[in-house]
Structure 1
């Protein structure tokens, strides 16, 4: 039996598929046998597993569309895809443009297949529950697509033959569909604690974000901000942020009480091929630490997404997220930070000084206490200043995976957290601000700052820019930043101010349009026999 293959979401060839552990595997089964299999309880559950597994493909590989070309991450020694990271060279044929389009439509077709069989498979008490889960996953795929590319083909039926012609629905129609799907999901899925499956809280969190995002669009409803705030508050459900930021991100604590939804990984399910079945999040956000000779001593880093000066400057003294986000003090054995409880006897290899320790006296005091350490003064470890040597940039450590093998590729097996309670509070804060209820929005934001031991924000400084700064501090390295800047209309302003390879003019596209949306992949245009299927205006 052959695995589903979707070519850029336009030519869609669908055969049947099954599962082995967490991933689909090819089997020599006829289509008739496959259909019979999906009519059984076991076969239908294999389709559900396939839907969850597709999340690993959407988020597990190179995350350019989520992070590159923003204010917080810039190119280090290794080159990013220049189109996605710099915009001036962004075309429909640019490297990486098709990735999310391909993976998103593969997720949609797998979901369509599961929903098709849900109506004819052996019925039991869990079929409706699984339908609710699949509706969430399909809505999530469409949400990624509409934010990235604008209006896209709306495909809701399971397609078992080759389709060569698609219409392009408007972004407004896609948002209407997403909301309808999520409302349907909310009526079907279970409540309770998150244990790896979609539940009501995950749906409410995503509904809040969808309404918040649509509210900024010209076709958004005047009530969207208020609706977003209400859904966020329902997802919060009175729960406080009880974990420290350190506990929140400690390796092995991926399924903690604040996680709302995540992409699930485990070592056993990827052990046969960890460089293709794991993910890259742990390797993306930091400098090189030397070559293969350091295997077992230092983690592998791609050296392609390095925190900018703007990212570092977000943090103030006393904010726990400074040391909770960055590996500020690096030991001779990098992972001793996690493996050794008492750090006082460990030799420091490198130290990255924060902006509040920016005097010769500060440096002299640290070097006197740690004569073995290489001291990196504040301002010297930004990619716009230095990026050509090992250890010369600060590393984001939130996603460190001490259990991952050394090597390039998808080696990490920590979960990728897509939704968590701290972000829900920030969604509520933004929604209340934009709805005109500044006082309540500020209360939600200061819950997040209180957990970080940061000074509370005041009403006079509570603006959309402050919220973006706070999202940077709280969510650094998580897969939100490009969407955050696009949603709030701050992409051009912030990326050009903070990314050393981006000028405002880089965004200038065809027809007087800015390159805010990504282009529809050129091959998808070429293969579609619908002559009215149009490219986004900035790329025509």
Structure 2
């Protein structure tokens, strides 16, 4: 089946390749004849590797479409794109709206090219496995698109010249295609531990999430929740959560036993352009931590997507994720937290008091032990109109990259985690709850809480809001939150309750519709010679 589509001509035909750890090798493919090169084993491997490299552009830039405008993050001193963060100026031409549309269709074109030449290839003994990997990557791109924009045009064949007239497929058709792709991938890819390439557990995790997401739609399959639960359990494969949360996020430990799939980066692959070939996850979720005078002593931070008071309030005493997620004590030299094994003699410059140690007596006792520390009382280190000083919102440390240059670009070369076992357990919990099996849902959720040393949840507490709260505690900053709230129908309620710049009325769009889906980018509309192509109703 072939559907005509064009997405920014420069984007869909701009086939770029970056090296990606030791399995992606950079190669200049200009002036290469496809039939003679890509049908060889080496040429086809180059195409497949380039598909993995496309993940860097999908996830490596500013994460507004993943995280902005939710209950967990808000702007501090520096303004975020107002359309995506506050909804009041959300239009087809708004800043950032096109990021996933462009990068995902570029990835889709790369995938179509690889599948096209893969079907012509007779020299590669791993051809079926590699095509399965590419199908996963193509399905992932379409899943991001359909969640963000609703129905989009399905492009399933390699285009070697521009098509200027295109139609729009329904969201139902896109979901069906994504599931079909992943089912084919599951039968083709290898098993075993994650080693940088798509494997069966990565596919099972994504299948679980796709079925879970479709289950909330009007066109859901009657068994979507049960299938999501089954695929999640398949991905879990009996593996317990045993790695301490702090260790899980130790820089350099991204390839741990709980990582199911990640975008692979390395210092070596980014060395030719170290401020543009990494990713930006390390730059957000904190206030600015200092100027050029401390370059190398603290990370550069954007003062955007700072944790809200609601996000902070979700952690209780004893939950190890509090200390593992946030830099609750910032030393005089920030990176001494990583560079010095013994912290006992280090000078604390900033202390962020938790809610369970916030009485005047608690703060006085801490000050007596750390006289040089600036103490930030609980409730006063979150984004608001008055947060204008460095270190005034609590830093999220789980994405710190001590090797990253002090720069506001794409500087981190830590692997960017897309799927990990802790989330798989929470997908299973949500799917079991919604399919009517609350006892199994509680068990899966408490596996996550037990690893964190948090008090187990009770049956009386368990509902979709509790699961969303648990996803916040476990996955803070991990590029899931907007999709979580959109999937469960909680975006308007939670964003307006917990984001200091959002009111319910911000979501009011045209035709009595709410601005839940993002608009199809205006450039894509303008380039289309089919003038009957529909914009999403809230933006017409």
Q: Give the TM-score, by structure 1 length.
A: 0.96
* Distance in 1 between residues matched to 2:15 and 2:351, nearest whole Å: 54
**2:425 aligned partner:** 425
Offset from partner CA, 1:84-134 (integer Å, 9 cap, x none): 000011000000001100000000000000000001124322011100000
Deviation at 1:454, TM superposition (A): 0.2
Change (3 A) 1:13 1:481: closer
What secondary structure sits across from 1:375 in the alignment? strand
Change (3 A) 1:20 1:72: closer
Change (3 A) 1:411 1:7: farther
What secondary structure sits across from 1:330 in the alignment? strand
- TM-align CA RMSD: 1.5
**1:512 aligned partner:** 512
* Distance in 1 between residues matched to 2:120 and 2:16, nearest whole Å: 16
**1:164 aligned partner:** 164
Contact 1:11/1:163 (<8 A) preserved:
no
Change (3 A) 1:44 1:421: same
What secondary structure sits across from 1:418 in the alignment? strand
Q: Which of 15, 24, 31 is 1:29 aligned to?
A: 31
* Distance in 2 between residues matched to 1:143 and 1:15, nearest whole Å: 21
What secondary structure sits across from 2:276 in the alignment? helix
Contact 1:13/1:160 (<8 A) preserved:
no
**1:234 maps to 2:221:** no
**1:204 aligned partner:** 204
Alignment of 1:438-449 (within 5 A): 438-449=438-449
Alignment of 1:37-48 (within 5 A): 37-48=37-48
What secondary structure sits across from 2:449 in the alignment? helix
What secondary structure sits across from 2:371 in the alignment? coil
Deviation at 1:34, TM superposition (A): 3.8
**1:3 aligned partner:** none
**1:539 maps to 2:539:** yes
Change (3 A) 1:138 1:337: same
Contact 1:12/1:161 (<8 A) preserved:
no
**2:491 aligned partner:** 491
* Distance in 1 between residues matched to 2:487 and 2:38, nearest whole Å: 40
**1:149 maps to 2:167:** no
**2:294 aligned partner:** 294
- Consecutive unaligned residues of structure 2, counting only runs of 5 or more, are none
Contact 1:60/1:280 (<8 A) preserved:
yes
* Distance in 1 between residues matched to 2:244 and 2:270, nearest whole Å: 30
**1:128 aligned partner:** 128
Change (3 A) 1:140 1:13: closer
What secondary structure sits across from 2:477 in the alignment? coil
* Distance in 2 between residues matched to 1:297 and 1:446, nearest whole Å: 38
* Distance in 2 between residues matched to 1:451 and 1:497, nearest whole Å: 30
**2:522 aligned partner:** 522
Structure 1 stretches of at least 4 aligned residues deviating more than 3 Å after TM superposition = 6-28
- Consecutive unaligned residues of structure 1, counting only runs of 5 or more, are 1-5
Offset from partner CA, 1:181-227 (integer Å, 9 cap, x none): 00000000000000000000000000000000000000001210011
* Distance in 2 between residues matched to 1:12 and 1:253, nearest whole Å: 34
Contact 2:6/2:165 (<8 A) preserved:
no
**2:93 aligned partner:** 93
* Distance in 2 between residues matched to 1:15 and 1:523, nearest whole Å: 16
**1:335 aligned partner:** 335
Offset from partner CA, 1:238-280 (integer Å, 9 cap, x none): 1000100011000110100000000000000001101110010
